[in-house]
Amino acid sequence: MIRIRIAVLALATGMSPALAAPIEVALVENVMGAPAGVKLMDYVETGKTIQLASSDGIVLSYLSSCVRESIAGAGIVTIGIEQSEVQGGRVARSKVACDAGKMVLEGNKPAQFAGRIFRGAAAGKSAPEPQLVLYGRSPLVELKAPGALLIERLDQTSERYLVDVASEHLQHGKFYDFARWGRDLAAGGLYRISLDGQGVVFKIDPSAKPGNTPIVGRLLRFGSSR
């Protein structure tokens, strides 16, 4: 079934199924015990298998389907495109709010839109359309390297700040978590986040909450190569 789904995806993108490389489809949110070949906050690819012992468990969040899985007990987990195939063990699934498949920011795009740099909703200028929606007010931003992260609110002029992200601020070497550092953005706000002249516009859902809300609902993979 998983091979069939990968073949369908490859055909939809114009690729030969034989040439279709595995793609990162889920994030490991939590690990219990010591399952081999998987670590906390790893991305896992289609077709990967994870062997769980009776005392092991993992929590997976799928990027394209917004499915969150809690899997525990002895068994074999095979990573699919929208959810896992689990043989043995126990699995509980839930659907979380996320902008499915859109949390990857295009790192090669400049931080400008329609030829202009927006500095808030000035008179006579309309704010740009968001490229994705976050369902948590405390983004989790994946960075390739430390740097100066600029956050600007576009629907108002009252919020603009620069965060100097150093190596020691990154979790697992690449994630800057607004929740960990007590930062949150305004519910319903329209923002641009920029790094090294590259950026994206996003909106915070009006009902979003601050803090450690589900990861895929607040994940920004800034400049990811995938």
Cα(23)–Cα(155) distance, integer angstroms: 35
Question: For the range 81-86, what are the long-range contacts, defined as Cβ-Cβ under 8 Å and sequence gap of 24 or more?
Answer: 81/2, 81/5, 81/6, 81/9, 81/25, 81/46, 82/5, 82/25, 84/26, 84/60, 85/1, 85/2
pLDDT averages per 10-residue partition of the chain, 226 residues: 42 42 88 94 95 96 95 96 95 94 52 35 66 96 92 89 93 94 94 88 96 94 59
Please report the pLDDT score of residue 22 as a whole number: 72
Please report the pLDDT score of residue 94 as a whole number: 96
CB-based contacts of 93, cutoff 8 Å, min separation 6: 67, 68, 69, 83
Looking up tokens 């930062």, which residue turns up? 183
Please report the pLDDT score of residue 60 as a whole number: 97
Closest to 63 measured CA to CA, from 6, 5, 23: 23
Please report the pLDDT score of residue 43 as a whole number: 94
Which 3 state secondary structure label does DSSP give 216? helix
Please report the pLDDT score of residue 201 as a whole number: 93
pTM (2 decimals)? 0.79
Compute CA 198 distance to the chain's CA centroid, rounded to the nearest angstrom. Answer: 18
